[in-house]
């Protein structure tokens, strides 16, 4: 694991609420060498894997996802908070520590079987900055699979291992570049 990348991510205690240690990737993003190395290391895994689209989860997942997609020559799909996407959407709800939240995706974002007659759907990588409890990515997985997408891997810039997010999505391959 690249220690220099791990060390450049800033810990912000008690954000957004007491008891949460926030992993702030803005310190990594603003450093040209670290950002480029992050994108190179993450995208390298998927070279030759026929990734059609990278799904970025609002909001920091857009940055990671778009950079990965550009490197792979893939498209980008946005998964957003409710009410932000302009066209018809599918919605998935998921549990937070307190209460519930939802995410949306455009209904026509994934076109199953469009590109590859052998695979049942478009090959998708899901991208986000942090894997914590896994609730968010589980909701995104359910959206993608309902639409006929085939998940190549869920790719995270970092993972908080103690929260066991991997367990929630263990039927899918998971990669994280940095482990806390």
**Positions in the binding site for ligand AMP (CB under 6 A):** 20-23, 57, 60, 128-136, 160, 165
Q: CB nearer to ligand AMP: give 119 or 133.
A: 133
Which of 3, 10, 37, 97 is the catalytic position? 97
Shortest CB 25 distance to ligand AMP, Å:
8
Residue 60 annotated among the catalytic residues of the structure = yes
Return the structure tokens found at 34: 């670290």
2: left (phi over 0), alpha (psi -120 to 50) or beta: beta
C-alpha to C-alpha distances, 50 to 34, 68, 117, 121, 126, nearest whole angstrom: 26, 13, 13, 12, 14
* DSSP structure class, residue 162: G
Which of 45, 60, 153, 159 is the catalytic position? 60
Strands (E), 25-165: 53-57, 75-79, 89-95, 100-106, 123-131, 150-159
H/E stretch holding 116 reads none
Q: CB nearer to ligand AMP: give 121 or 165.
A: 165
Shortest CB 147 distance to ligand AMP, Å:
20
Shortest CB 18 distance to ligand AMP, Å:
13
Q: CB nearer to ligand AMP: give 121 or 156.
A: 156
Residue 153 annotated among the catalytic residues of the structure = no
Q: Which residues are catalytic?
A: 60, 97
């Amino acid at each position: 694991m690249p220690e220099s990348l791990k060390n450049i991510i800033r810990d912000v205690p008690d954000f957004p609420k007491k008891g949460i240690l926030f992993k702030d990737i803005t310190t990594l993003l603003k450093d040209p060498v670290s950002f480029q190395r992050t994108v190179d290391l993450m995208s390298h895994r998927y070279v030759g894997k026929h990734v059609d689209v990278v799904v970025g989860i609002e909001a920091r997942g857009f940055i990671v996802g778009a950079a990965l997609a550009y490197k792979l020559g893939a498209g980008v799909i946005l998964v957003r908070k409710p009410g932000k996407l302009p066209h018809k959407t599918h919605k998935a709800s998921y549990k937070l520590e307190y209460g519930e939240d939802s995410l949306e995706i455009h209904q026509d974002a994934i076109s199953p079987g469009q590109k590859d007659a052998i695979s049942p759907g478009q090959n998708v990588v899901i991208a986000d900055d942090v894997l914590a409890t896994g609730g968010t990515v589980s909701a995104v997985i359910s959206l993608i699979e309902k639409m006929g997408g085939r998940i190549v891997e869920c790719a995270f810039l970092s993972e908080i291992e103690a929260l066991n997010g991997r367990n929630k999505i263990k039927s899918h391959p998971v990669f994280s570049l940095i482990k806390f």
